[in-house]
Structure 1
């Protein structure tokens, strides 16, 4: 059996019942069933793969942030720790409860220390206050820089006699007030940071961070790369374990229904078989994307960003979408639904070659549209299909006049 004939058989099983086209009501019911089963399969896949240990459980995000992504120099380390606390406080409790795997040996002591910091509500409040003071200090510095320019200009105009003295005096007083406020905020921030630095959880965290050596970071980075590389493959294996029984069950049901001539069960089982195959295709594509193009696309985006040409990515995406659409339309229209293939399917199914309605046996004309189904063969003179490529009696190729 050729591929085209197999495809035609599958299409008939999906769209016909007792060799008749499905009614709209029946098609709606089948499509609703397809949608429900498909959503249930994807929900089951999510629940099934949730049992699999993820890289984030072995190397938590807060460990990556602290050990791999940041450089903990003495200057500004409290400010960085404040950013860590702000970024991970909301998720730390959920992550601690959801994680089923022991952290990486390099991460375990650091994660324990940072969790102690995150769990201290009073300490978290101090970090919030320090962040607010830093923001206030930054705003004051910006305002002071603007005022300095205006004050210098007004002072020069005052000396030259081109400006009233009151404006320069007003700007001077405002500048002095802002400078005093900045000094006060800076002093409060210094005292607050000193108090935070004396906290036992913070000191314990510094000890854990300082104990991490360069070799430990390289080992953690290598292990994380291995986890992220193999996790998609393991996830696909778990997903196939979930999908394989469904595919086997639906295939066996479909084969038995076809063998026993049960039209309704053939229709439903064929749809379910296709529905069960859709997640397989999606997960295979996801694996290919996770393993290969993601790293390539990341490097490409980095290159485009460095060259300030990010817009090229949008143009490329649009061009790829247009090209893929053109190719898909060509394949669907010219390969699957070409007129010669459509006519061949209608002849094989005993349908009218013009309107597609199922014909009574040995009908010379269509009872719906009146189209004549047969013409004399130019070679043997026997009646053969109007749009047949070859005579059904002698097997000779039909002339152009009989296939128009």
Structure 2
């Protein structure tokens, strides 16, 4: 296994920096690397764009988060807070869904569209005026409370000055004890009055027909259950959909690069073969990364997670053990496929033999060398027809022309 991996990487780096088995000069290598970086950045940019083509769970169910927060809230005034939020963050989303669905995949929740429509109606002129009054009163209350804190800080020292008989003009405080007590009582009464006004305003806000309709909608358990179920289902499938879209973006590029690479090798277009090989590698890098990412959050992870949870209960760390065993096997499978279809010595044997190179590692050897001095590979095989020694991996015997397919399949 390790010998195969070692041979794979040798062939990989050899192909990446040679043209017709001749090494690249430094300038050419720098140019190739710059091209690789530019293309790779564009590939990742394209992957990011296409991954957002389908509506995300948050976009498909835009009301879920706010609705869930409202239901989880334990404050007594949560009805007022949600109405206040609807007034302060109100925006017109009604024209967005129709435009978005024309250019993007997926479907927006009809319940969330209704949610937005009802929520937007809350922001009518009457409710806005009531909220302005509440905000104004709250500002006054804050000012009065600050004034009371200042008065209380000075009251004790003013009272001591009065008991000591200190003249008023020698006091370090802005007001005397009597005046401080009067101002404190007055401010407290004003605060109570403003709080009562705000309480009345809040009741008006909550009993407004549009506000009441919105609150009734929020408290509809059946509608929320439908939204929650849809959101969870969308969240489950979204990584798989993203991977499918990203694969849809990458696979045509990989296929084209592979076909061009094969064509260039047959026609011996060295530079075209080198560039197509680099493109092939560049297109495979993000695909492999996305597959590994999918294994961490996609359907496969959920499947393994559920099995481990059901069988072993809380020993969920064993999922990592499974991945530690699984990922190397997947990597080994990728290497095997690459050796079979891309770095297969059989497909390159003819060109290598003509240039007196090893049919396995492609390094220069002498014409009559039976074994490669670089990798130790035996270059010949016995023809089943004439029993002469002929080159490995060629289609026909060099002595009698007999087909070597049976030898090559071994």
TM-score above 0.5, yes or no: yes
Q: 1:122 to 1:220 in 2, by over 3 A?
A: same
Q: Does 1:112 align with 2:117?
A: yes
Q: CA deviation at 1:216?
A: 4.5
Q: CA deviation at 1:276?
A: 0.9
Q: CA deviation at 1:126?
A: 5.3
Aligned twin of 1:250: 257
Aligned twin of 2:40: 38
Aligned twin of 2:278: 271
Residue deviations 1:126-156 (CA, integer Å, cap 9, x gap): 5466456546645654x25633652453355
Alignment of structure 1 residues 183-332 onto 2, 5 Å:
183=192, 185-186=194-195, 189-190=198-199, 192-197=201-206, 199-210=208-219, 212-213=220-221, 216-291=223-298
Residue deviations 1:71-117 (CA, integer Å, cap 9, x gap): 4876352233213443x435846854665365546545433211323
Q: Tell me, yes or no, if the aligned pair for 1:82 and 1:131 is still in contact at 8 Å.
A: no
Alignment of structure 1 residues 11-160 onto 2, 5 Å:
11-60=13-62, 62-67=63-68, 69-70=70-71, 71=73, 75-86=77-88, 88-89=89-90, 92=93, 96=97, 99-100=100-101, 103-104=108-109, 106-118=111-123, 120=124, 123-124=127-128, 127=131, 130-131=134-135, 133-134=137-138, 137-138=141-142, 140-141=144-145, 143=146, 146-147=149-150, 149-151=152-154, 153-154=156-157, 157-158=160-161, 160=163
Q: Tell me, yes or no, if the aligned pair for 2:93 and 2:116 is still in contact at 8 Å.
A: no
Q: Over aligned residues, Cα RMSD in angstroms?
A: 4.3
Q: 1:130 to 1:291 in 2, by over 3 A?
A: farther
Q: CA deviation at 1:23?
A: 3.4
TM-score by length of 1: 0.59
Q: Tell me, yes or no, if the aligned pair for 2:50 and 2:245 is still in contact at 8 Å.
A: yes
Q: Distance between the aligned counterparts of 1:138 and 1:126, measured in 2?
A: 18
TM-score by length of 2: 0.58
Q: Tell me, yes or no, if the aligned pair for 1:85 and 1:124 is still in contact at 8 Å.
A: yes
Q: CA deviation at 1:245?
A: 1.2
Q: Does 1:161 align with 2:164?
A: yes
Q: Tell me, yes or no, if the aligned pair for 2:257 and 2:279 is still in contact at 8 Å.
A: yes
Q: Distance between the aligned counterparts of 2:245 and 2:279, measured in 1?
A: 21
Q: CA deviation at 1:188?
A: 5.5
Q: CA deviation at 1:194?
A: 4.6
Q: 1:196 to 1:391 in 2, by over 3 A?
A: closer
Q: Distance between the aligned counterparts of 1:278 and 1:221, measured in 2?
A: 36
Aligned residues: 301
Q: CA deviation at 1:291?
A: 4.4
Q: 1:26 to 1:110 in 2, by over 3 A?
A: same
Q: Tell me, yes or no, if the aligned pair for 1:197 and 1:203 is still in contact at 8 Å.
A: yes
Q: Distance between the aligned counterparts of 2:6 and 2:196, measured in 1?
A: 81
Q: Distance between the aligned counterparts of 2:167 and 2:296, measured in 1?
A: 69
Residue deviations 1:260-284 (CA, integer Å, cap 9, x gap): 3221112111111111112212322
Q: 1:134 to 1:176 in 2, by over 3 A?
A: same
Q: 1:391 to 1:199 in 2, by over 3 A?
A: closer
Structure 1 gap segments, 5+ residues each:
296-347, 351-358, 363-383, 393-404
Q: Distance between the aligned counterparts of 1:113 and 1:250, measured in 2?
A: 53
Q: CA deviation at 1:228?
A: 0.7
Q: Distance between the aligned counterparts of 2:292 and 2:87, measured in 1?
A: 37
Q: Tell me, yes or no, if the aligned pair for 1:147 and 1:175 is still in contact at 8 Å.
A: no
